[in-house]
Amino acid sequence: MDDAPEPATPATVDADRRRLNAWLWRLPVLLATGGAGFGVYEAYRIHFAKLAPADPPNFTTAPETDVASLDRFDAPWAAVPFAVAGIPSLAVRVPEPVPGGTTASTADGPVHLVGFSRVCTHLHCILDLNTDIELVAFAFNYRSDRPALTCGCHLSVFDVLRAGRAVSGPAVEPLPRVRLGVRPGGADGADQVVADAVETRV
Ligand code: FES
């Protein structure tokens, strides 16, 4: 008995071609449908699924780092950049306590401070504290009554008083907080703000 395969005839070649053409025609439709679905999912995630900061934050200890003399934080929204464990960070004086922040007692009253990583949780650009409320509303499309941490790369905005929550733009995760403390009487006799831990999400 002869088991050799049947030679291809013009009819079978045409049928194969028709099947291939049918799939080639469907491919762009499948890709477009998948892309649209992904777009809808991303839009939902960005607008409705922003993550809340942990309360309390889960801090991982880092080598203690000097930030600045407490005198540098002479008014609300005074901010000082520094680095802890190699992470660009920012200490901000805030008008009210923020979860994960610290409060120093001074002769002039309490000084509320909070620290954040300056690394954007979207694609890792470096953030700045933006104190121009009108600029934030115009350039970042986010209207607020207070300064915010903003990312110039893709226009994410983070709310300092809501513990670094992402409130606008493509970032979804909040900023990691940096634990601050105040060491009495630094080298120049002034109290010193220090950082000694960075938040990690669990
Ligand atoms: S890197 Fe900050 S918004 Fe994209």
The minimum-distance atom of ligand 1 relative to the CA of 169 is 3
CA of 35 to the centre of ligand 1 (A): 22
**Taking a C-beta distance cutoff of 8 angstroms, is the pair 17, 25 a contact?**
no
Measured in angstroms, how far is the CA atom of residue 55 from the centroid of ligand 1?
Answer: 24
Please give the Cα distance from 147 to 144 (Å, whole number): 8
Q: Answer yes or no: are the C-beta atoms of 74 and 191 closer than 8 Å.
A: no
The predicted structure's pLDDT at residue 4: 66
Which atom of ligand 1 lies closest to the CA of 154?
A: 3
Give residue 45's pLDDT. Answer: 78
Atom of ligand 1 nearest to the CA of 151: 2
pLDDT value of residue 28: 87
CB-ligand 1 contact for 99 (6 Å cutoff): no
pLDDT along the chain (202 residues), means of 10: 67 83 85 88 80 96 96 97 98 98 94 98 97 97 97 98 97 98 81 97 82
Residue 116: closest CA among 150, 88, 153: 88
pTM, to two decimals: 0.83
Q: Is 93 in the pocket of ligand 1 (CB under 6 A)?
A: no
State if residue 153 touches ligand 1 by the CB under 6 angstroms criterion: yes
Whether the CB of 170 sits within 6 Å of ligand 1: yes
Cβ of residue 118 lying under 6 Å from some atom of ligand 1: no
- Report helix, strand or coil for 159: strand
pLDDT at res. 104: 95
**120 CA: nearest ligand 1 atom:** 2
For residue 3, what pLDDT is reported? Answer: 62
One-letter amino acid at 54 equals A
Take atom 1 of ligand 1 and give the residue whose Cα is closest: 123
Does ligand 1 come within 6 angstroms of the Cβ of 120?
yes
Q: How far is the C-alpha of 99 from the C-alpha of 37, rounded, in Å?
A: 37
CA distance 132 to 119: 20
CA dihedral of 46, 160, 136, 143, whole degrees rounded to 10: 70
Q: Rounded to the nearest whole angstrom, what is the distance from the C-alpha of residue 33 to the centroid of ligand 1? A: 27
Residue 126 in contact with ligand 1 by CB distance below 6 A: no
